[in-house]
Amino acid sequence: MTAAYVPASFDPLSTEQIAHTICEMFERQPLVSMAREIPRFEGSGLYALYYRGSSVDLYRPLNHLQIPVYAGQGKSSNSATGEKVRERYPVYSRLRKHRVSIIEGGLPIEEFRFRALLLPDVHADLGENGLRVGYVPLWNSKLKGFGSNEQGPSTRKSKKSMWDTVHDGRRRSHGGVVHQVDKLLADAEKHIRQQVDNYDKLPWPHPSTETYEDLLPQ
């Protein structure tokens, strides 16, 4: 017996569809080298970091894919109060701090890239969630702690993060090591294999080859 035909259902304004549209638009943006100081620009929105090199064995499988090692956003308002943030350069400021962290963590900064898209906070939230759910970036999941800030005495007394355990060297104080490097590396390698295996299952289209421009700040 032939199954009854049921037309597809599509809601272009659903939260999920908007998130996919934002992620697709985001991945059309050029990759920008982090080798030199990042030129300052205003605005809030979405950003992600990518590995494009061959010297770090752990990240080498990602060097030709759109899979970010980290995804985040710079907000124009305080999420708790809704008040405007005085910072005029939230995305730039985050990227600048991340550049320093990568260098201090002993990683080759010339092998890292970023892309960014200026967006209202609500849309940046959707895009960040889409990237995190779709790709599960390593530094957002298995090696947490990369994006954290050292803000006060209580934070300084906290245990060393997973990211800092693997990429030791950032100029910050913290408590003792509570993570085993070998286990973290094994979990990270397994996670990256899963990311690569699931790469073609994303709900939005993405190029499988490097067809975008690779910009280098002058």
Query: Looking at per-residue confidence, does 196 or 85 come out higher?
Result: 196
| Tokens encoding 9 | 């259902």
Q: How would residue 86 be classed by pLDDT, with cut points 50, 70 and 90?
A: confident
Specify the pLDDT at position 203.
86
136: containing domain:
15-201
Helix and strand element counts for the chain (H, E): 6, 5
pLDDT tens digit string along 121-173? 999 999 999 999 999 999 999 999 999 876 555 555 678 899 999 999 998 76
| Tokens encoding 48 | 């992600």
If one counts every other C-beta atom within 10 angstroms of the C-beta of residue 146, the result is 24
CB burial class (10 A; 0-12, 13-18, 19+) of residue 39?
exposed
| Tokens encoding 153 | 């005495």
Q: Is the pLDDT of residue 56 over 70?
A: yes
- Ranges 2-6, 46-50, 83-87, most confident: 46-50
pLDDT tens digit string along 187-196? 999 999 999 9
Q: Is 106 inside a domain boundary?
A: yes
CA distance 47 to 53: 19
- CA 11 from centre of chain: 28
Q: How many domains does the chain have?
A: 1
Specify the pLDDT at position 188.
98
Q: Is 135 inside a domain boundary?
A: yes
